[in-house]
Amino acid sequence: MRLKSTLPILGLCLMSICPVLAQSASQQCQSICAGQNQCYNACIAEYNNYDTYTRHIGQGVSLRALPSHVADILQSHFPNTDVRKWRFGHSSELPGDTEALTDCNRSYFRSPSYVDDLAMDRVPIKNSNTISTSHMLFALHELWHVNQCAQGGSRFAYQRRWAAEARQVAGRAADYQFDSFAMYLGMPMESEAFQRDSQINAALLACCTLSDGRIVRPVQNLQPSGPGTVQIAPDSAGNAVGFSWPIQARVSGGGPPALEWIWKVARPGGNLVLIDIYDWAQRRPDGHLNFVNPPKPGDYRFQVIAKHVGDSRQWESPVATVRVKYGCPRGEKEVRTSTFPICRACVATNTPTQAQNQCALNSEVYAQGYCIPNCGQPPGGRHQPPRHQPPPRNPQQQQPAPRGGQVDPAQQQRQPQPR
């Protein structure tokens, strides 16, 4: 039950909160009173009054449930009850200054707008209703009463306990200077609910609440997942060519709403910066990252920041490192040429010798403009027309070439002779 400070203490003595009765009230009262008629009659009357009152409060009320993700997040805080089974609704029959009343696993609230907000996960962090409560405190207080009821074992047992605490406090009214709200908090069950709703609300604000009050699954285990160490073949300019590796953001939790990703990257020896300035780190449509043609070997660092769409709250991951080494990948070997040893080609380890030579030869042909990293022609536009032609297959036909490149002997004979 959640009350204003002006609630008359008399109202407390007639209300309580608890789970469904497994045995009938008659059987419970017989067990308590052990054949004493006066005790039995008082026991039955007290319970019947409570039952009649709560049924009146709940008559015609349309009951709602929490969104499933909110119930899942709250469940760990309420070990004795199934939060998914909690139902709540608006009742105009709550008396006086009573803002809420819980009976078993049902709660009734005075404010219809609060019920709507609670059912649609849009309770603001600062509520504008009459009690000016903070965020979920109102609902959490009632849920803790549901938890207490389940712990007590029956609706009847909880009603008895609550009524006994209310009578005890009323008998010590002078000790509380007849302050009705102080007497209300003097009931152990109510003071416990106030303490627990504040603790749980603080935990929700710290882990799972967006700036507009929506509750989201906490982001956990957020980290970039990269290849660790990669070994790639560079071109003649020392650049990695044709290399691409996805860097994914691994995360558990989050949403709804959906998560979006912000990436920071750092080249070897550099600082982490937003991704937009580097063409070797490219965002993918799915929010992950492609690590493309790193400009030099070394340790590249990556960090991902997760945020919910439309909200400013962010979660930062640890920094992950991808170490780039130059050389042929596993299962391949490097082929170099004698004329241009800086040129290299990676071929499969079982490539025949003749094909290896052809790879090296192709690399040498294009050494002036583009040294290809593997067999085949280089991409268009990346090389200049070669000035160095492959040597003839028959060494006996090889002739001295003028500066600038080799010339076919037949072409040399047709050149005009100087006078």
Sketch the domain layout of the chain as residue ranges.
2-207, 220-326, 332-386
Beta-carbon contacts of 60 under 8 Å, excluding residues fewer than 6 positions away, are: none
User: pLDDT, tens digit, for every residue of 35-47?
Assistant: 899 999 988 888 8
Please, are residues 2 and 138 in contact by the beta-carbon 8 Å criterion?
yes
* pLDDT higher than threshold 70 for residue 212: yes
Neighbours of 379 (CB within 10 A): 11
Q: Are the CB atoms for 201 and 125 separated by under 8 Å? A: no
Output the CA torsion 23→24→28→31 (10° steps). -90
Say if residues 361 and 337 touch (Cβ distance below 8 Å).
Answer: yes
Using an 8 Å Cβ cutoff, are 378 and 372 in contact?
A: yes
The predicted pLDDT at position 10 comes to 30
Helix (H, G, I), strand (E, B) or coil at 218: coil
The class (CATH top level) of 220-326 is mainly beta
The token pair that represents 50 in the structure block: 């409570």
The share of the chain scoring above pLDDT 90, in percent, equals: 20
User: In the prediction, which pLDDT does 343 show?
Assistant: 53
Task: Enter the tokens of residue 79.
Answer: 């070990």
- Separation CA 178–CA 169 (nearest Å): 10
User: Does residue 178 sit in helix, strand or coil?
Assistant: coil
* Nearest partner of 356 among 377, 380, 335, 373, judged by Cα: 335
pTM of the model: 0.64
345 in helix, strand or coil? strand
pLDDT digits (tens, 9 = 90+) for 289-335: 888 777 778 888 999 998 888 888 888 999 988 888 776 666 767 66
Backbone φ and ψ of 180, nearest 5°: -65, -40
Which amino acid does the sequence have at 123? V
Average pLDDT score over residue span 87-110: 91
Q: What are phi and psi of 269, to 5 degrees?
A: 80, 0
What per-residue confidence (pLDDT) applies to 113?
92
pLDDT digits (tens, 9 = 90+) for 330-384: 676 766 655 555 555 666 677 666 666 665 555 544 433 333 444 333 333 333 3
Q: What are phi and psi of 370, to 5 degrees?
A: -160, 120
